[in-house]
């Protein structure tokens, strides 16, 4: 059974930091491109960051460049999102996604809420 379980969300003050984790099981994690998306209330889901299978290529949304860092540990089947210098506009539900480019298969986690507020 495929599972993607996000954790690490919560309430943080502006300027603070959070580290999200996404633990994967039920598929060959190391073969999948991993991404973090977010969806704020009333807005469409947007890509935050993505990382290729070996971590050799990483992309970020312009809005988070220099503040967020995506990484993965294929031995632990886990992808991370380190979020620093958080802003109110980073408030959203954060989702991880696994994508297998050869077949187009993708899996989504259930999401974790991040709220940035004083």
Return averaged pLDDT per consecutive 10 residues of the chain, 118 residues in all.
96 98 97 98 96 95 98 98 98 98 95 97
pLDDT at 94: 98
Q: SS3 string of the chain?
A: CCEEEEECCEEECCCCCEEEEEEEECCCHHHCEEEEEEECCCCCCEEEEEECCCCCCEEECCCCCCCEEEEEECCCCEEEEEECCCCHHHCEEEEEEEEECCCCEEEECCCEEEEECC
pLDDT at 77: 98
Q: Which residues contact 26 (CB under 8 A, 6 or more apart)?
A: 1, 2, 3
pLDDT at 32: 97
């Amino acid at each position: 059974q495929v599972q993607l379980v996000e954790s690490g969300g919560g309430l943080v003050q502006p300027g603070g930091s959070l580290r999200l984790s996404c633990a994967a099981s039920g598929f060959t994690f190391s073969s999948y491109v991993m991404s973090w998306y977010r969806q704020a209330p009333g807005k469409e889901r947007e890509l935050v960051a993505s990382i290729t299978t070996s971590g050799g290529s990483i992309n970020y949304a312009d809005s988070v460049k220099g503040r967020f860092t995506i990484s993965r540990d294929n031995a632990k089947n886990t992808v991370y999102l380190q979020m620093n210098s958080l802003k109110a506009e980073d408030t959203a539900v954060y989702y991880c996604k696994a994508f297998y480019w050869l077949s187009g298969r993708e899996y989504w986690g259930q999401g974790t809420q991040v709220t940035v507020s004083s």
